[in-house]
Amino acid sequence: MNRVHRARKSVLDSSDRHDEENGVYRARTKSFTRRSRRLTESLQRTMDKHGDRFVVPVKRSQGYTTVASDFHLAPTELFGREAPLVVEIGPGVGEQIVSAADRWPDHNFLAFEVWQPGIAKLVSRAVSAGVENIRVVEADAAQAIPITLDSAIADEVWTFFPDPWRKARHRKRRIVNDQFALEIARILKDGGVWRLATDWDDYAWQIRDVVEACDVLVNPYEGERADPNDPEGERGGFAPRWEGRVLTHFESRGIHDERHAHDIEAIREPRLPRTQPASENPQQ
């Protein structure tokens, strides 16, 4: 079993599962906290009127943030066209993705979000901006992406300001880890980009380490922009702020609290020729 396939199995093994034979339900380790799904009257009206245009109907497994094992997403069907695909993990209230959809109307934007009020606010923003090239899946990306998306399908993946899980005992919940990096590498096209940002220093060091440890991802800024607070001193490895990343209210709060955002980029290495046996090829 190659590395990416092992990663996919591990991600799936840690997801919500129901053992039909023994009637046992096992909960997965989640990268998010359970938050209210209640909508204000205004947001509910927005969803009633416009939700069907943007929110993808999902076949569920156990729990409202899961997808069934046979649920598949085909971007050409979702958007009704062939276009470069950007996947955003955790768009929050949609500031980034709606701005990007307006700026790049020739791209398709697919988001995975678990917070229903955030989805409703994203839809409201999309309607106000007059954009149509966004689709949202209410699901946990770590559980859903291995199931729903084919390999080499995305031009870019964005993970901006994921939940930092600040307490040491909770850091296993952080979505960016070695297994998830391999899963992102799987869905990226050759040369595709994974863009990340966080304003928690120790998470920035972890993300940098995860990217540089992945055999099929390259950090194009390896050794650059060293941070004096980095426990590894002059190691660096951080990207300049991507000009396409907007200043969101979430980042603004961090700035107010005197936190500094670190950007990290990862480039998908070219896959090996298909003539090589899959069992020997970790890049499929």
The catalytic site residues sit at 163
> For the purposes of burial, counting CB atoms within 10 Å of the CB of 212, is it exposed (0-12), middle (13-18) or buried (19 or more)?
middle
CA distances from 268 to 17, 134, 186, 197, 284 (A): 31, 24, 9, 18, 11
Supply 88's token pair: 């955003």
Supply 271's token pair: 């896959």
Q: How many CB atoms lie within 10 A of CB 189?
A: 17
Beta strands in 7-153 (DSSP E): 17-19, 24-26, 85-89, 108-113, 134-138
130: left (phi over 0), alpha (psi -120 to 50) or beta: left
Three-state secondary-structure class, residue 19: strand
**CA pair distance 235, 206, nearest whole angstrom:** 13
CB neighbours of 119 closer than 8 A, spacing ≥ 6?
A: 55, 113, 136, 138
